Amino acid sequence: MSDVSVQTMIFGYGYLGRRVAQQAIRNGDKVYATTRRPQRQEQLATEGTHPIVADWTDRRTLANLPDVKQIVICVSYDRHSSHNRFDSQVGGLRNLLQVISPKTKICYISTTGVYHQQNGVWVDETSPTRPHRDGGRAHLMAEALLNQMRPESEWTILRLSGIYGPGRIPRAANIIAGRPIASPREGFLNLIHVEDAAQAVDSVFRKRTQRLYVVSDDRPIVRSQFYEEIARQTGSEKPQFVTAEAGSSVSIRSESNKRVWNRRMKRDLVSNLYFPTYQHGLADIL
């Protein structure tokens, strides 16, 4: 167990942030968790964290953040926000970096959506990034901002593949209900189970790390095989596929087709994944 004096902040207490907080609490850390909604404070407290009401698009709410040893930044963009994605994801990060100590170690959660490749090639930390979607562009700008504002500080960026886990399996409800899947059959999916993603974050704070890692499981999988495995494990009919509406978010996401190579992550952060393939993860969940 780690030194109980370690203080960790989870900035963005969502699906991943909650798992990271649970791991940090098991390590003996004092964990602060942020929320934009005051009514969530009681829930966060019952989960063992010290809740803080903070919205990084509003600098006034960042004025009295505790001085912590390490911070995980995993803020998801709120599509109902009055701020656009760039003002939120990049401007919000700038606001936060201006108020936290340069001695605070940062783990910033980014996305493999920064990669533009569409021909099934393998990508890693050295691959070029020219994202087509605003989400990927915003995260890439945030990564650059971190490098610009904290050139000498200790920080690590984790570019995560698609997170799945309990209560979060893409298209599972449609498959079980027998509804067609609006997605191409071909193209690779890159996934990481939420518990393995949390394990990678924990390793960032427990080990010496480099600046950048891609975080993905051991086996990129063709879309149709992933959905067919869900059907097999739930005893559902084999899924049928239909063409997604042109220009829709589903159609745009489906344009991505690359395979994420996790060798640096396996070498430095997580040598043994809890769920090395999608079959292992789905079997545990379903």
What spatial distance separates the first Cα and last Cα of the chain, rounded to whole Å?
32
Q: State residue 2's pLDDT score.
A: 44
Domains of the chain: 7-165+192-218+258-273 (3.40.50.720)
Query: 279: how many CB neighbours lie within 10 A of its CB?
Result: 16
Q: Is the pLDDT of residue 3 over 60?
A: no
Stronger pLDDT, 20 or 2, i.e. the higher one: 20
Give me the mean pLDDT over the 169-194 stretch. Answer: 92
How sure is the predictor about 177, in pLDDT bands with cuts at 50, 70 and 90?
very high
Of all residues in the chain, what percent carry a pLDDT higher than 70?
95
Cα–Cα dist 72/208, whole Å: 16
Q: State residue 1's pLDDT score.
A: 42
Least confident of 128-142, 185-199, 242-256, 268-282: 242-256
pLDDT in tens, 86-144: 999 999 999 999 999 999 999 999 999 999 999 999 999 999 999 999 999 999 999 99
Q: State residue 256's pLDDT score.
A: 78
pLDDT in tens, 207-236: 989 999 999 999 999 999 999 999 999 999
pLDDT in tens, 18-32: 999 999 999 999 999
Query: Would you give the DSSP letter of residue 165?
Result: B
Closest CA to 216 of 194, 191, 198: 191
Provide the residue count of the chain. Answer: 286
How sure is the predictor about 244, in pLDDT bands with cuts at 50, 70 and 90?
confident
Residue 120 CA: distances (Å) to CA of 131, 188, 221, 259, 276: 15, 7, 11, 6, 20
Q: What is the pTM of this model?
A: 0.93
Cα–Cα dist 22/144, whole Å: 29
Cα 76 to its chain centre, rounded Å, is 9
pLDDT in tens, 42-89: 999 999 999 999 999 999 999 999 999 999 999 988 777 778 889 999
Give me the mean pLDDT over the 183-202 stretch. Answer: 95
Could you list the beta-strand ranges (E) of 36-174. 50-53, 70-73, 105-111, 122-123, 155-160, 162-164
Q: State residue 250's pLDDT score.
A: 59
- What does the angle CA 242 – CA 167 – CA 55 come to, to the nearest 5 degrees? 105
Q: Does residue 213 contact residue 158 with C-beta atoms inside 8 Å?
A: yes
Q: State residue 161's pLDDT score.
A: 97
